[in-house]
Amino acid sequence: MVDAKLAQIHALLPLREENVEAFLELVAETVDLGDPSSIRPLLMIVDEGCPLSGVMDALLRNLEEFPSDVYDRELLAALPMFCTRSPFWCESEIKKRLWSVEERETLIAALPKATDQAREVLRELLTRVRDDTPQLKQACTEVLTKL
């Protein structure tokens, strides 16, 4: 079922104004299935070059429907490729995890299952965020010490 939904989503790419509504409906339907295997493929759809304001943000907000521990595990698994394909949105997702103590704790709890490559990408992201965003310095340091 998830594969069929993902195929329908991919068929709508590249996005145009006339198919954005159908795209976001399919994303929501896919997330509503509750299958964590859909998280990584949806993250790989995130496109920094999308000219349609807010569509990628809406896609990522849909992923917030998953429990934090499930989402963090899948985010970390996708992190190396996600960061390569969409560095802005990847950093944005990591920052979201840092702002909240609860979200930060679930991210830290997911670290033991992360690959070495994912851990290295996360280390680079956290270092950059720590240096660029003073409000998140303590949160970045907390996660960095757990890496």
Model confidence pLDDT, tens digit, residues 75-109: 999 999 999 999 999 999 999 999 999 999 999 99
Pair (59, 8) in one structural domain: yes
pTM over 0.85: yes
Segments forming the whole domain that contains residue 21: 1-66
Pair (60, 76) in one structural domain: no
pLDDT at residue 25 tops 90: yes
Pair (105, 59) in one structural domain: no
Count of domains observed in the chain: 2
Rounded Cα–Cα distance for residues 120 and 146 (Å): 12
Q: Which of 66, 89, 123 is the last residue of a domain?
A: 66
pLDDT at residue 53 tops 90: no
> 109, 70 in Cβ contact below 8 A?
no
Rounded Cα–Cα distance for residues 132 and 24 (Å): 32
Pair (94, 144) in one structural domain: yes
